Amino acid sequence: MPVNVKAKLVKKEALKKDVFKFSVKAKEIVDISKPGHFIEIRVSDQVEPFLRRPISIYNMDKENGILEFIFQVKGKGTDILSQKQVGDEVDIIGPLGNGKFDYSKYQNLAIIGGGIGVFPLYELAKEAKEDGKNVTTYLGFRNKDFVLLEDEFKNVSDELVLATDDGSYGKNGFAINFLKEDIEKGKIDSIYACGPLPMLRAVKKLAEETGIPAQVSLEEKMGCGMGVCLGCAVKTASSPKDSPSYVYVCKTGPVFDSTFVEF
């Protein structure tokens, strides 16, 4: 049941150069959103740029009806968005997607994210911890300059493992290697991932090798964002190559069991 709101920007924060955190008043959306949901933002009321931009929900303050999202300026859409000022309205449709990081059956959660893929994992870690789960979070960044949200994730995790590819901050190497070690120690019973494709593929492989189930949040280019245009197709793993069967990132996903889809 997505809704379209003009949400007032109540707080704007630059986390680093070209990465912004927006807090908007969007009670209608917050009331019905769950970890894994995303929103679509129309950055201009003109027809250029044309399409809405998909952005994950980072954090929700349910009591005050505040929705927070974080985005990196990539191209013209996010650039225009970044110029909004406190008091301006943001045209948002949400919640979208299945909102289904589903951890109810598990106790020892590994939450793993890389780069700008870490944003949708915060609300997940927060809610899982509130529900009494054991949350270990693994965050990977390219180097020290890219590290984001360390304290925030620390507060919602029982343990935070932070790694950089070049070792310039935190542990040295890919975050997934540390997850692997913990799985071998028997500390983990399920994995929740969002981040760059190579990382997600590594998670998929790790899940296959260890038998630990993994849920991944995927990205794809979108038209409508709500299951109408069939633009954001991803092939199901079980369907044959010559007659592929598709599901949709915006509707069936963005969170999928890693064995369900091909990516």
Ligand X SMILES: Cc1cc2nc3c(=O)[nH]c(=O)nc-3n(C[C@H](O)[C@H](O)[C@H](O)COP(=O)(O)OP(=O)(O)OC[C@H]3O[C@@H](n4cnc5c(N)ncnc54)[C@H](O)[C@@H]3O)c2cc1C
Ligand Y SMILES: Cc1cc2nc3c(=O)[nH]c(=O)nc-3n(C[C@H](O)[C@H](O)[C@H](O)COP(=O)(O)O)c2cc1C
Give yes or no for residue 38 binding ligand X (CB under 6 A).
Answer: yes
Q: Contact 235/245 with Cβ under 8 angstroms?
A: yes
Interface residues with ligand Y (CB under 6 A)?
A: 223, 229
Give yes or no for residue 161 binding ligand X (CB under 6 A).
Answer: no
In whole angstroms, the minimum distance from the beta carbon of 226 to ligand Y comes to 13
**Binding residues among 115-144 for ligand X as defined by CB under 6 A:** 116, 119
Over the window 12 to 51, marking each residue x when it contacts other proteins by CB under 8 A and - when it does not, the resulting string is ------------------------------x----xxxxx
C-alpha dihedral over 183, 187, 192, 195, to 10 degrees?
-60
Helix, strand or coil, per DSSP, at residue 118: helix
Q: Which is nearer to ligand Y, 213 or 231 (CB)?
A: 231
The single residue among 229, 244, 245, 246 that binds ligand FES, judged by CB under 6 A, is 229
Can you tell me the distance from the alpha carbon of 219 to that of 195, in angstroms, rounded to the nearest whole number?
A: 9
- When CB distances are held under 5 to 8 angstroms depending on the partner's kind, the choice from ligand Y, ligand X, other proteins, none that residue 234 binds is other proteins
**Binding residues among 237-256 for ligand FES as defined by CB under 6 A:** 248, 250-251
In order, the DSSP letters of 160-209 are: EEEEETTSSSSEES-HHHHHHHHHHTT--SEEEEES-HHHHHHHHHHHHH
Looking at the DSSP bridge assignments, the partners of residue 163 are 140, 171
Can you tell me the distance from the alpha carbon of 145 to that of 143, in angstroms, rounded to the nearest whole number?
A: 6
- When CB distances are held under 5 to 8 angstroms depending on the partner's kind, the choice from ligand FES, ligand Y, ligand X, none that residue 164 binds is none
In sequence order, the 6+-apart residues with CB closer than 8 A to the CB of 146 are 115, 164
Give yes or no for residue 93 binding ligand FES (CB under 6 A).
Answer: no
Can you tell me the distance from the alpha carbon of 79 to that of 63, in angstroms, rounded to the nearest whole number?
A: 30
In whole angstroms, the minimum distance from the beta carbon of 260 to ligand Y comes to 24
Can you tell me the distance from the alpha carbon of 262 to that of 65, in angstroms, rounded to the nearest whole number?
A: 36
- When CB distances are held under 5 to 8 angstroms depending on the partner's kind, the choice from ligand Y, ligand X, ligand FES, none that residue 225 binds is ligand FES
Positions touching ligand X (CB under 6 A) are: 38, 49, 51, 53-56, 69-72, 74-78, 116, 119, 219-222, 254
